[in-house]
Structure 1
Amino acid sequence: MKKHLLILFLLFFSVSCESSNQPRSCKENLYWKNLSEVQKMAVLDSSEIDKYAMSYYQGCFKPSDDSLTLNLLEELTNERASCHAKAFYFHLFNQICMKADGALSEMLGVYCQRIMLNSSVYVLGYFQRNKNVEQIYANLIGYELYFKEEGTSMIKYNYVDFKSILNKRIGGDKVYEKILSDFFHLINVALKNMD
């Protein structure tokens, strides 16, 4: 009987941790590609997943510069998602960033900054393995930061504040300091190219 209670407690505890909205409860390397097929199917079958996110995943929704896409981007970059849903949303967001051009790409820098600030270590860990995504984020954020200085961007933080917040979020971790330094270098290059 005690053994059954212990198993039930552990199962309840793991489910409680899984549904926690605290970013620290998620494993740093819990990315979509690291999930098993069973875990992916559980996420895809979850009522937690936004219908437009699912529609995009299934190839039935094409993001553009419209209100439905803005709603999708808001959902993909929120910090309320469970760990597995977060992995799915991050995967979708990165796909959108990689494929975007024109007016859509001009909207994404704000959301790149948002997701980086909401999940700094998570995103930087991904950059360590995915330099193409890192480059795209740097370009998109750099574009917005350039126009922030001109007073024509809605990005929340200017470059100085953005750097300060990210440095605080990584808390002196040497691995992330290196990744962040490389990322800031890429932003500097993007800003220089805007001149």
Structure 2
Amino acid sequence: MSLESEGQAELGTPVWAAFGDLMAVLLGAFVLVLVGVIAVQGELALRLDEEVARREAEAQQRLALEQALAGPLASGRVTLVDGRIGIRGNVLFALNSDRLQPEGEELLRSLAAPLAGYLSARDQILMVSGFTDDRPVRDGNRRFADNWELSAQRALTVTRTLIAEGVPADSVFAAAFGAQQPVSPNESEAGRAKNRRVEIAPMPRPARDGTDRKDGDGR
């Protein structure tokens, strides 16, 4: 072999070795990227399955509520939007009052049994929320300091009535929102009437901590 051929062979060997090392590095990087992409796809697929399951559960919940409340819904005295049962304030109470009107008492009696049946099959509770318009309370007896207090007392009245009609006491609670969260502008009487309302919404029961305290000291 000539000296020229031997020189070319000596120069070619390191080049091919370096090329092989480079390809190995590139292949390793490709494998890592591929593994990462597969992991991301798996996580996205899991999240998609969870979201689909959640939406299906919500749809089943709405359907169950619609079936349970078919009578009151058909009468037009209540609404069901996004799983929240809405009742106009003028159906339940006179203006600036927390005392149920006869129509309101009848309506709550018609709701109690379906709601109790609905809760019996689910680990849920009911939040009874009171809302008002934005006008200051005009109460001749000065029973309510403001709209917060009026909405709280109305929510309590509805809650106590549902309990008296058979809804388990540990499955319902009251909440007050006053003039917050209006569903219509308060610029007209029609809008204010829509904002004076009570809503009943199923929600998950809070997790229990597992403790069994018999008195205030935990003994």
| Fold equivalence (TM over 0.5) | no
* TM-score normalised by length of structure 1: 0.30
User: Whose strand fraction is larger, Structure 1's or Structure 2's?
Assistant: 2
* TM-score normalised by length of structure 2: 0.27
User: Whose helix fraction is larger, Structure 1's or Structure 2's?
Assistant: 1
